[in-house]
Amino acid sequence: MPTPLIHLDGITKVFLTDEVETHALSGIHLHINKGEYVSIAGPSGCGKSTLLSILGLLDTPTNGTYTLNEQPVANLDFAQRARIRNREIGFIFQSFNLIGDLTVFENVELPLTYRGLGAAERRAAAQAALEKVGMSHRVNHYPSQLSGGQQQRVAVARALVGNPSILLADEPTGNLDSKNGDAVMDLLRNLHREGATICMVTHDPRFARHADRTIHLFDGRVVEEHEADTLVDSRA
């Protein structure tokens, strides 16, 4: 059996506010293999975004272990986490998070500048990523000149440009109409067919079905896993 790209063992997350404990995640066990497409589903407030933030090293668990590419990452310092995020993880956000005063090309190229790559190498990688998402004809446009669907395509290109180990998508169709949402989901499905590893948070069961496996969260716990035609109840 292959070593998982991502392995979570007993992950918990507790938030303390005004002396009230909120258990956002409780004992999460999860693995994601290289080349797999996993969706995380569940009602609002169930812990989906908290889990994705921990997977993306944007937050730290209260307890438990997280291994990424065979490296324990739960207790790394800020600089180490930033370096791994830049090299191993591509983010796709619901709100696109493009920088308004940078062109399409500059937005996609930006993550590579933190790696110290030469200008020619950055240009080639950014151009290839934009071609992959069908946006190479818009390189000199600014985000405000693009539709929502086009902005999300640029955001996908930015996530891809560094050839990350995994793409993390947080409600990638949440700010899009149904036509553009379907187009972005088709794009992610094509990237998966080309070998990309994807973990996506979604509240839409239509889009969850695009994945190889769906993890259902409820009250911070994994309660079901739906893989192919099999439904596994984790509470049994």
Per-residue pLDDT of the chain (236 residues; tens, 9 = 90+): 668 999 999 999 999 887 788 899 999 999 999 999 999 998 888 999 999 999 999 999 999 999 999 999 977 899 999 999 999 999 999 999 999 999 999 999 999 998 888 999 999 999 999 999 999 999 999 999 999 999 999 999 999 999 999 999 999 998 999 999 999 999 999 999 999 999 999 888 888 888 999 999 999 999 998 775 544 455 44
DSSP 8-state symbol, 141: -
Return the pLDDT at 1: 61
Decide: helix, strand or coil at residue 135: coil
Taken in order 189, 191, 197, 201, is the CA torsion positive or negative?
Answer: negative
Beta bridge partners of 216: 41, 224
C-alpha span between 85 and 58 (Å, rounded): 9
pTM of the predicted structure, to 2 decimals: 0.89
Q: Which helix (H) or strand (E) holds 16?
A: strand 6-17
Helices (H), 133-177: 148-160
Decide: helix, strand or coil at residue 88: helix
C-alpha span between 176 and 215 (Å, rounded): 23
Contacts of 59 (CB under 8 A, 6+ apart): 13, 50, 53
Q: How far out from the chain centre does Cα 23 lie?
A: 22
Return the pLDDT at 205: 82
Return the pLDDT at 114: 86
Nearest of 90, 95, 102 to residue 129 by alpha carbon: 90
Q: Is domain 6-233 in CATH 3.40.50.300, yes or no?
A: yes
Return the pLDDT at 45: 86
Q: Which helix (H) or strand (E) holds 126?
A: helix 119-132
